[in-house]
Amino acid sequence: MKKEFVVIGLGRFGGSIVRELIEQDADVMAIDKDSERVDEFASIATQAIVADTTDEAVLKSLGIRNFEHVIVAIGENIQASILTTLMLKDIGVKEITVKAQNDYHAKVLSKIGADHVVHPERDMGIRIAHNMLSNNVLDYLELSDEHSIMEIRANEKLAGYTLIQLDIRAKYGINIVAIKREGDIIVSPQADMQILLGDILIIIGSDADINRFEKKVL
Ligand code: ADP
């Protein structure tokens, strides 16, 4: 059976989620209060509906409760985003993901029970900044306020050495959780594994430790 999603707000962010879900063969009910936006998605989404989701009666009449996962991608209008999330929670939607505009908005969303809060602009900004600092940083993902996962390309300072020789855990407090090599992924690599130039290392640690490692090694 196909997975079924609802996307509310068809701006750049919500719109790209709709396109990708459809591309990945899911069913998507796409909603926006702006009829021009909805027209754009009429031939893309499974259903495209003009509705103001801050109206509880409207949400109920659309049967949104029956969908597995709803994403609220309402941008600028923080009040509408909060109100919509609150009502989705009230009608018993199982999984709700909401795009936050800022940290204050994110806090409110978590408090009222959003299951996932995403900050696409902020997160992409952080990723791009790390990639600008070093071309060897490929990706950066915040796990919490203090911990992150980073994907790095092994350079000359790392290649040719085994994990035990590098001793990154003792020196920097960082763990290498996996190595990507030529399409394969080696999970929990052994201490005697040798790193090759171009290997992609997935490392995990505190932000302070990762920063130290980034400055010294990358
Ligand atoms: P982005 O930064 O992703 O482009 P926008 O702010 O441009 O975000 O898009 C948000 C979309 O959410 C707009 O198309 C807007 O019409 C829609 N929207 C805003 N408020 C509501 C609401 N109460 N109900 C439904 N859609 C809404």
Q: How far apart are CA 209 and CA 147, in angstroms?
A: 9
Q: How far apart are CA 178 and CA 113, in angstroms?
A: 33
Place 145 in a pLDDT band, splitting at 50, 70 and 90: confident
- Average pLDDT taken over every residue of the chain: 93
Q: Which residue pairs, CB below 8 angstroms and at least 24 apart, start in 144-148?
A: 146/206, 146/207, 146/208, 147/204, 147/205, 147/206, 147/207, 148/204, 148/205, 148/207, 148/210
Place 133 in a pLDDT band, splitting at 50, 70 and 90: confident
Classify domain 4-118 at the CATH class level. alpha beta
Tell me, using a 6 A CB cutoff, whether residue 9 lines ligand 1: yes
Place 35 in a pLDDT band, splitting at 50, 70 and 90: very high
The percent of residues above 70 in pLDDT, for the chain, comes to 100
The pLDDT value recorded for residue 27 is 96
Tell me, using a 6 A CB cutoff, whether residue 74 lines ligand 1: yes
Query: Quick one: average pLDDT of 120-128?
Result: 88
Q: How far apart are CA 161 and CA 126, in angstroms?
A: 30
Tell me, using a 6 A CB cutoff, whether residue 32 lines ligand 1: yes
The pLDDT value recorded for residue 149 is 95
Position 106 pLDDT exceeds 90: yes
Centre of ligand 1 to C-alpha 73, Å, is 7
**Which architecture characterizes domain 123-217 according to CATH?**
2-Layer Sandwich (3.30)
**Domain layout of the chain by residue ranges:** 4-118, 123-217
Query: Quick one: average pLDDT of 86-99?
Result: 95
Residue with tokens 């950066």: 140
